[in-house]
Amino acid sequence: MSYTCEFSEMHKVLDRIPPSNTQTGGISTIWMCVKDYHRVFVFLGCGNMTNTLDVAVWQATNAAGAGAKIVTGKTITQLAGGDDNEMVGIELRTEELDVAGNFDYIRVQTLNGGTTGNNCYELVVFGCIPRFAPVGTTEFDEIVH
């Protein structure tokens, strides 16, 4: 079977949290409209982990976060201090959102446990299988085909 679509034509980086050392609290992506995608994939890449880490996908009705609530079943199993170099993925079909309630926006939120030491991780959110292809690639510095 021949497949001619480029990865970058079918997967758009919607937002990312660059590799960071974080201590307490958490980090959130922006609110992203995902109504033009059939799926979303969240990639979490961990480095040195000294505290627990929770990650959840939230949904809302607009870019300001109106009516925000966690998407059912879209939280990771808590990572522990010492879970160095783990990779975690969260897959979301956009029909899993509260579509009847007009929930078209998501954000990904991380929460670090503990009060000492840092967690080092990065997070990338991809819009996958666009309703209108190809997707833009302006978030990349370079794409080599």
User: 131: which residues sit within 8 A by CB, 6+ positions away?
Assistant: 36, 37, 38
Q: What distance in Å separates the CA atoms of residue 94 and residue 89, rounded to the nearest whole number?
A: 16
Range of lowest pLDDT (75-79, 92-96, 115-119): 115-119
Fold exhibited by the domain 20-130:
Jelly Rolls (2.60.120)
Domain ranges of the chain: 20-130
Mean pLDDT, the chain, whole residue set: 93
Q: Determine the 3-state secondary structure of 19 from DSSP.
A: strand
**Interval 38-84: pLDDT, tens:** 999 999 999 999 999 999 999 999 999 999 999 999 999 999 999 99
User: Looking at the predicted structure, is the pLDDT value of residue 1 above 70?
Assistant: no
Q: Determine the 3-state secondary structure of 46 from DSSP.
A: strand
